[in-house]
C-alpha cells in the first residue's frame, strides 16, 4: 500500500478531439447589451478565448512540458495522490513541499520549479479531487486529513524534515502541517492569506494606507465577488453538471477568478499569467473531470470550517508545541491584513510586493522564489 508508482500524463487523442468538438458546438447565451465583467465573463472575450483553445492551443506541447518533470502516484488513506518530485543536484538541498489552491493545480508551479531546484528538492502534490488526484470518496475537504496525507507522502519519500509553501487552500494545508507536525516542518511560507470571506467587513480605522487598499478590496470581494464560493460551499452537485458537461463553463468558471484575483495592473487573465498557462490549467480540470470534484472538496472544507468555528470555544485550550517559524508574502492583488492574519504576532517574516496576485507562482515566480529562498536560508544554522 506504500508503493510509489511512476506516472505520465497521457490524455487519449479521442478526448482531445472531443474537447474540440464540444468547443465548436457551444451554445452561446444572450448577453445583455452594455454590460461587462461586473456580471461575469463577457461574451466577446470568452468567445475569442474559446476559439483559441479550440484552434490555437497545443495540448500535446503542454502535456510534454508537464511530463518533463518526474511524476508519481501513491495511495494514502484510500486516496491516490499524484505528485511531481524534482530533486536538486545540490546534496545539501532542503526538501520543500509546494501546495496549490483553488482553482489551480500543479501547473501553477511550472515557472517556479527551475528557480528553486538549486536549493530545494521539490515535492508538488495534486490535492485530492484536483487535477491528477481524482477523488476517491468524501471527506477530503477536511484539511487536517489532507495535511496528514501529504505528511505521509513526505515520509514515504524519506524526508523526515521538510519546509512547506502554499497559497489559498495550500496555505491552509501548510498551516495545519505546522500544527500537526511541528517537529518535522522546519518552517512555513504562505502567500496571500485573507480574512474569512463570510466574516464581517474589515474596518479601515487604524490601518496603513496599503492595508486600507487591501481592506477595500476584501470588502468589495465580500459583497460582490463571493457568489462562486456561496454556490460551491452549498450546492456543489448542482454546479457539477455544468462543469462536467461544458468545457466553456469550466473555462469561464476559472477564467473569471484569474481576472479578478490577479495583479490589478493586468486587464485580462492572460496579461497576468499567459494564455497557454491559463488554458493548461483549465484543460487539466476538463480532461480529469475534477472541476466538479474540486467543488465538492470546497463544500466539505467550508462545512468543516464552520463546524470548527462553532465549537472552537467549547473545549479547554490544550498546550501546543511551539510552531515552526512562518513567513507571509503579500502580492499586489491580495487582501492580507497583518493584524487579522497574524493576531498573535508569530509571523517572523512579512513581505509586501507591488505586483503579482493570488496565483503568485504563475504571476511573479521571480519574487516568490527569492522570498522563499531568503526566508528558509535565514533558518539554516550559520
pLDDT tens digits, 18-39: 999 999 999 999 999 999 999 9
Residue found by looking up cell 505520465 in the block: 8
* 274 pLDDT higher than 90: yes
Q: Residue 382's pLDDT is what?
A: 63
Does position 320 have pLDDT exceeding 80, yes or no?
A: no
Position 302 confidence tier, pLDDT thresholds 50, 70, 90:
confident
Are 125 and 82 in contact, with CB atoms under 8 Å apart?
Answer: yes
Among 124, 108, 96, smallest CA distance to 375 is for 96
Location of C-alpha cell 500500500: 1
Tens-place pLDDT, residues 71-99: 999 999 999 999 999 999 998 999 999 99
Q: What are phi and psi of 74, to 5 degrees?
A: -140, 155
Q: Using alpha carbons, list the distances in angstroms from residue 163 to 74, 119, 262, 369, 377.
A: 20, 12, 26, 14, 11
Provide the 10 A C-beta neighbour count for residue 212. Answer: 15
pLDDT tens digits for 222-241? Answer: 998 999 999 999 999 999 99
The continuous run of DSSP H or E covering 229 comes out as: helix 227-232
- Pseudo-torsion of CA 109, 14, 246, 30, nearest 10°? 110
Tell me the Cα Rg of the chain: 20
Q: Is the peptide bond before 110 cis (omega within 30 degrees of 0)?
A: no
Burial of 162 (0-12, 13-18, 19+ CB in 10 A): buried
The phi-psi region of residue 139 (left if phi > 0; otherwise alpha if psi is between -120 and 50; otherwise beta) is left
Helix (H, G, I), strand (E, B) or coil at 167: strand
pLDDT at 322: 86
Q: What is the mean pLDDT of residues 209-225?
A: 94
Enclosing H/E stretch for 305: helix 290-311
Q: For residue range 248-260, what is the model confidence (pLDDT) as tens digits?
A: 999 999 999 999 9
Q: How far apart are CA 270 and CA 279, in angstroms?
A: 9
Q: How confident is the model at residue 307 (pLDDT cuts 50, 70, 90)?
A: confident
The rounded distance, in Å, linking the Cα atoms of 281 and 85 is: 19
Which cell numbers hold the place of 188? 512555513
Residue 310 has pLDDT above 70, yes or no: no
Specify whether domain 4-11+68-241+295-311+323-379 bears CATH 3.40.50.1820.
yes
Select from 152, 213, 199 the least CA-distant residue to 309: 199
Interval 6-16: pLDDT, tens: 999 999 999 99
Is the Cβ–Cβ distance between 107 and 281 less than 8 Å? yes
Is pLDDT above 80 for 5? yes
With cut-offs at 50, 70 and 90, classify the pLDDT of residue 198: confident
Q: Degrees (nearest 5) of the Cα angle 80, 76, 373?
A: 90
What is the mean pLDDT of the segment spanning 305-331? Answer: 76
Q: Scanning the structure block, which residue is given the C-alpha cell 501553477?
A: 108
Residue 285's nearest CA partner among 102, 12, 42 is: 102
- Provide the pLDDT for residue 318: 59
| Confidence (pLDDT) at 319 | 65
Nearest to 299 by CA among 239, 378, 220, 367: 239
Q: How many separate helices (H) and strands (E) can be counted in the chain?
A: 16, 9
- For residue 304, what pLDDT is reported? 81
Residue 49: pLDDT over 90? yes
- Quick check: 263 and 331 in contact, CB under 8 A? yes
Could you please report the per-residue DSSP string of 15-31?
A: HHHHHHHHHHT--PPP-
Amino acid at each position: 500500500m506504500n508503493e510509489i508508482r511512476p506516472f505520465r500524463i497521457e490524455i487519449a487523442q479521442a478526448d482531445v478531439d472531443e474537447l474540440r468538438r464540444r468547443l465548436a458546438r457551444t451554445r452561446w447565451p444572450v448577453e445583455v447589451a452594455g454590460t461587462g465583467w461586473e456580471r461575469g465573463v463577457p461574451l466577446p472575450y470568452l468567445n475569442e478565448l474559446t476559439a483559441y483553445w479550440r484552434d490555437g492551443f497545443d495540448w500535446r506541447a503542454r502535456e510534454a512540458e508537464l511530463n518533463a518533470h518526474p511524476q508519481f502516484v501513491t495511495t494514502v488513506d484510500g486516496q491516490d495522490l499524484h505528485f511531481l518530485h524534482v530533486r536538486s543536484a545540490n546534496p545539501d538541498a532542503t526538501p520543500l513541499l509546494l501546495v496549490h489552491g483553488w482553482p489551480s493545480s500543479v501547473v501553477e508551479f511550472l515557472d517556479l520549479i527551475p528557480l528553486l531546484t538549486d536549493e530545494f528538492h521539490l515535492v508538488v502534490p495534486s490535492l485530492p479531487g484536483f487535477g491528477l488526484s481524482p477523488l476517491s470518496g468524501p471527506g477530503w475537504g477536511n484539511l487536517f486529513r489532507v495535511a496528514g496525507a501529504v505528511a505521509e507522502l513526505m515520509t514515504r519519500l524519506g524526508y523526515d524534515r521538510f519546509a512547506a509553501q502554499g497559497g489559498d487552500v495550500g496555505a491552509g494545508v501548510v498551516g495545519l502541517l505546522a500544527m500537526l507536525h511541528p517537529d518535522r516542518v522546519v518552517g512555513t511560507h504562505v502567500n496571500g492569506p485573507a480574512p474569512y470571506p463570510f466574516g464581517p467587513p474589515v474596518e479601515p480605522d487604524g490601518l496603513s494606507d496599503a492595508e486600507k487598499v487591501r481592506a477595500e478590496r476584501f470588502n468589495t470581494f465580500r459583497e460582490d465577488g463571493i457568489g462562486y464560493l456561496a454556490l460551491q460551499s452549498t450546492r456543489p452537485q448542482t454546479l457539477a453538471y455544468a462543469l462536467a458537461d461544458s468545457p466553456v463553463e469550466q473555462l469561464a468558471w476559472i477564467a473569471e477568478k484569474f481576472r479578478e484575483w490577479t495583479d490589478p495592473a493586468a486587464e485580462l487573465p492572460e496579461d497576468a499569467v499567459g494564455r497557454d498557462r491559463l488554458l493548461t490549467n483549465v484543460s487539466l480540470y476538463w480532461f480529469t473531470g475534477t472541476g466538479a470534484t474540486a467543488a465538492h472538496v470546497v463544500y466539505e472544507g467550508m462545512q468543516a470550517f464552520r463546524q470548527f468555528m462553532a465549537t472552537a470555544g467549547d473545549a479547554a485550550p490544550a498546550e501546543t508545541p511551539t510552531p515552526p517559524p512562518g513567513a507571509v508574502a503579500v502580492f499586489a492583488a491580495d487582501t492580507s491584513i497583518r493584524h487579522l492574519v497574524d493576531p498573535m504576532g508569530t509571523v517572523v517574516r512579512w513581505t509586501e510586493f507591488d505586483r503579482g496576485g493570488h496565483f503568485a507562482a504563475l504571476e511573479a515566480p521571480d519574487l516568490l522564489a527569492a522570498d522563499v529562498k531568503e526566508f528558509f536560508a535565514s533558518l539554516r544554522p550559520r
